[in-house]
Each structure stands twice: as structure tokens, then as C-alpha cells.
Amino acid sequence: MVCFIGRSNVGKSSLIKALFSLTPEVEVRVSKTPGHTKKMNFFRVGKAFTIVDMPGYGHKAPRDFVDMMVVTKIDKCGSGTLLTNLLNLQDVVKTETTSCFPQPFLIR
């Protein structure tokens, strides 16, 4: 089972939708209004695999959530800002995380 967690409106549902665009049983709803996903949504993919679209976590998310890192909406900022953010992120990954995958996944 793989859960997609993160703050509200960061693009979790959109990411699942993009990743599983060829899997008809994954019927993810993406909404313009933040906080739309209120329940956990479970989707079976084949026999052995389930993905979970979680509701958003706010600013009080546990600190160790920092260990899980996909960078979404990279189209929202210019390349200079993106580079600065990625360098800062690299720093956070190096100094504050233990199990984070060293290569961030950039999504837009």
C-alpha cells in the first residue's frame, strides 16, 4: 500500500491522477477548492497494490513528514526561484532528514 500525504492543495490528487492515467480503477477527484479531499480514498490497482489519496495535512503536520519529498507545482515559479528552492531543499535533505530519497521528484 502506498499513501500520498502532504498539505492540502499541494497537488497530491493531481499527481496520483497523472501517475495512474492509464489505470481506469483509479478515479481520483481533483478540485479547485482546497481541502476538497476529506476522506481517505483507497484505490485497488490490480491484485496486490493499493494507493491511498489522503486528505491534506495543515501546518501542524508531524516533523518527520519532511522525510517524504515530491516537489509539486514547479511551473508556478521562475527558474531562478526554483533553483534557490531546490538548493535549500538539498540542504534540508542533507541536514534534517534521515530516510528521504536524495533525488527530489519535480512535478508540474
Ligand X SMILES: Nc1nc2c(ncn2[C@@H]2O[C@H](COP(=O)(O)OP(=O)(O)O)[C@@H](O)[C@H]2O)c(=O)[nH]1
Instruction: Decide: 28 and 17 in contact? Cβ < 8 Å.
Output: yes
Dihedral pair phi/psi, residue 45, rounded to 5°: -115, 105
In the complex, the smallest distance separating the C-beta of residue 88 from Mg ion, rounded to whole angstroms, is 26
Residue 37 touching Mg ion (CB under 5 A): yes
Question: Looking at the chain, how many residues does it have?
Answer: 108
Side-chain-side CA neighbours of residue 41 (13 Å):
19
Grid coordinates representing 18 are 497523472
Residue 72 touching Mg ion (CB under 5 A): no
In the complex, the smallest distance separating the C-beta of residue 81 from ligand X, rounded to whole angstroms, is 14
Q: Quote the CA–CA distance of 54 and 71 in Å, as a whole number.
A: 17
According to CB under 6 A, which one of 8, 23, 85, 97 is a site residue for ligand X? 8
In the complex, the smallest distance separating the C-beta of residue 48 from Mg ion, rounded to whole angstroms, is 24
According to CB under 6 A, which one of 75, 78, 80, 102 is a site residue for ligand X? 75
**Footprint of ligand X on this chain (CB under 6 A)?**
6, 8-14, 30-32, 36-37, 56, 72-73, 75-76, 107-108
